[in-house]
Structure 1
């Protein structure tokens, strides 16, 4: 502890209990006493007068700064951890159907809607668009097998269409890679009992919509051809 020349401690409380002998000693010298350091010997306190703050007092001040610095560091670390936790991708729900809207079927990162309401190809695509989807895009043989198995015996439109003299394309304009054969001479493709066929686009039949499931939609890029 040390006392300032104004008769108060460092925290500005009055030094009422400062020993009288030490007060006289501190003021008996011709020079002023900028500070007084109290030291304890046995049961008594004694003061030391000096011109410069002792190293011990400086050490005490430095020691007080350590908890403050640690508190700042901890606060920064907690903020970083919270920010990373917010940005971390959420785990996909289980079962996989929970990642799809009610009435949709989940399979391999996509949600499928099988409609028995009949319409032509254009109206079917419009219905899918209103559901934030498109007529079904087939990215693999596994996708094709799943839809053929699940749709039953009814015929359903899918997303393939071609203009006269042009190749088959998906709803997003991606050119079909001939992964499977499309039978018939029509301009719009549909699924029948055993594969993919084509007919005139104004024919009436059911349709299949597809879109990425909720987990896939959170990724930087969603499945090709589906609306996000």
Structure 2
């Protein structure tokens, strides 16, 4: 019997005569090569998956680092939980302080300036309603006074006559609010005052 390249040949004697060679061929093929190919494919797949996992891990780490950096840089820009000092009220990006004492208009403005604020500057009807009906205070100075033939706020801005009506009296140039009435009075008279700080740069009125 001979073996060559997966084929077998055999000689079988028939009767008692000469041996008649009989060849038997087998389609046998070695399975070693396919097995090697399968093992190699599995190794390649695992290596590819491992590489993808490493890339994903690096991407996640970079994303976390960038997020932490963004939070650190923008931390100061985040809104504070308590935007106003103690004893001040907050409404629409402004802080309000109502005095318990009484003073003339100029002294009231100086007291507000000491807080980095000014006598109240009113920008909208909503703000006016908040001051008059939610703070619920009466007879107090605001940061408005007449100069010549027009009214100016303490921050230098002109008064919008569409905002509210000022009852002009012959008793002074400084504006105060008494209940629902807004009118002028002598700047030297004593009243409570309302300070605001927020969306403007307060200036001390001369």
In which range does the TM-score fall when normalised by the shorter chain? 0.5 to 0.7
Q: Is the 8 A contact 1:119 1:206 kept in 2?
A: yes
- CA distance in 2: counterparts of 1:134 and 1:108, whole angstroms: 17
Deviations 1:113-162 (A, max 9, x none): 11131111111111001112110111111211222222434x10001122
Question: Per the alignment, do residues 74 and 206 of structure 1 end up closer, same or farther by CA in structure 2, a change over 3 Å counting?
Answer: same
Instruction: Report what 2:179 is aligned to.
Output: 193
Say what the alpha-carbon RMSD is for the aligned residues: 3.5
Within the alignment, does 1:183 sit opposite 2:171 as a pair? no
Structure 1 unaligned segments of length 5 or more: list them: 1-64, 213-222
Instruction: Tell me the TM-score normalised to structure 1 length.
Output: 0.56
SS in 2 for 1:162: strand
SS in 2 for 1:146: helix
Instruction: Report what 2:22 is aligned to.
Output: none
Within the alignment, does 1:84 sit opposite 2:60 as a pair? no
- Structure number with larger C-alpha Rg: 2
Question: Per the alignment, do residues 175 and 225 of structure 1 end up closer, same or farther by CA in structure 2, a change over 3 Å counting?
Answer: farther
Greater shift, 172-181 or 65-74, is seen at 65-74
Instruction: Report what 1:168 is aligned to.
Output: 151
**Runs of 4+ in structure 1 over 4 Å off:** 65-76
- CA distance in 2: counterparts of 1:187 and 1:72, whole angstroms: 70
Instruction: Report what 1:100 is aligned to.
Output: 84
Instruction: Tell me the TM-score normalised to structure 2 length.
Output: 0.61
Q: Is the 8 A contact 1:171 1:225 kept in 2?
A: no
Q: Is the 8 A contact 2:141 2:193 kept in 1?
A: yes
Matched pairs, number: 159
Within the alignment, does 1:152 sit opposite 2:137 as a pair? yes
1:182: how far off?
0.8
Structure 2 unaligned segments of length 5 or more: list them: 1-50
Within the alignment, does 1:208 sit opposite 2:191 as a pair? no
